[in-house]
Amino acid sequence: MSFIALALIAITCIVSIIGFNDRRFFSRYLFSTYGIQEMKQVDRLLTSAFLHGDFMHLFFNMLALYFFSDIIIHQFNNVTYLIIYFAAVLGGNLLTLWMFRRDSTYTAVGASGGVSGIIFAAIAIYPQMTMMIMPIPIPIPGWLFGIGYLAYSVYGMRSSLGNIGHAAHLGGAAIGLIIAIILYPATLQYNTIYIGLIVLPLIWLGYLAYKEK
């Protein structure tokens, strides 16, 4: 695995653990609509990606990042990988900020936007990849996983499930998908149907989220 990807995972783990043990540090760098809009602490749009709610939240985000990072790095390079990751973090958090702009109490943490960007960039390139998701006993194609992932994210936004950045999932996924297609347009020719199966629900789910807010 790439040193860059391992370094990103390691830094995220270290910062998250610091946040677990230092509530003042955690509060200063988490995503906060009040902090960003009223205090002008725009750094939260990026720093919140290095914090997590608990060890399980951290573990599953980093596990997903571990499995999907090599696909992007092998297809492109380390720099492009980082661009996709942080663009997805920023895009996901900007969508979150817009959706919850009237709620000054809204806070969230997690690398969900960046991880979603990497996952969906990988799916855009290899939509027919398969993955095992417990407890489902059969392999799931990447494009189907993508649709389910987006549906869950919108459901989470509309039901306000937990302190997880569900809007960041949606925004990050869209950014990752778009960048991958721009950088590797041939995938539209080779995987037209699969890309369409992902893009159309993404547009529809984004519209539902827009209507909700």
| Distance separating alpha carbons of residues 193 and 16, to the nearest angstrom | 39
- Give the pTM: 0.88
Q: Express each pLDDT in 40-92 by its tens digit.
A: 999 999 999 999 999 998 998 998 899 899 999 999 999 999 999 999 999 99
- Two tokens at 185? 């347009």
Q: Is the dihedral of CA 67, 69, 75, 78 positive or negative?
A: negative
- Two tokens at 166? 């569900």
| Distance separating alpha carbons of residues 127 and 48, to the nearest angstrom | 29
Percent of the chain predicted with pLDDT > 90: 59
Element (H, E) at 107: strand 107-108
- Is pLDDT of 162 > 80? no
Q: φ and ψ at 141, to 5 degrees?
A: -65, 150
Domains of the chain: 3-212 (1.20.1540.10)
Q: Where are the beta strands (DSSP E) in 19-173?
A: 31-32, 107-108, 130-131, 140-141
Question: Confidence band (pLDDT; 50, 70, 90) for 213?
Answer: low
Q: What is the pLDDT of residue 157?
A: 57
DSSP letter, residue 48: G
| Distance separating alpha carbons of residues 98 and 204, to the nearest angstrom | 18
Q: Express each pLDDT in 132-157 by its tens digit.
A: 776 778 888 888 887 777 776 666 65
User: What mean pLDDT is reported for the chain?
Assistant: 88
Q: Is the dihedral of CA 172, 178, 184, 188 positive or negative?
A: positive
| Distance separating alpha carbons of residues 115 and 119, to the nearest angstrom | 6
Non-local CB neighbours of 155 within 8 Å, separated by 6+ positions: 161, 166
Q: What is the pLDDT of residue 186?
A: 94
Q: Express each pLDDT in 97-115 by its tens digit.
A: 998 999 999 999 999 899 9
DSSP letter, residue 30: S
- Is pLDDT of 195 > 60? yes
Non-local CB neighbours of 55 within 8 Å, separated by 6+ positions: 20
Q: What is the pLDDT of residue 159?
A: 59
User: Per-residue DSSP letters for 57-76?
Assistant: HHHHHHHHHHHHHHHHHHHS
Average pLDDT on 117-140 reads 86
- List the one residue out of 126, 108, 128 whose CA is nearest residue 172: 108
Q: What is the pLDDT of residue 212?
A: 58
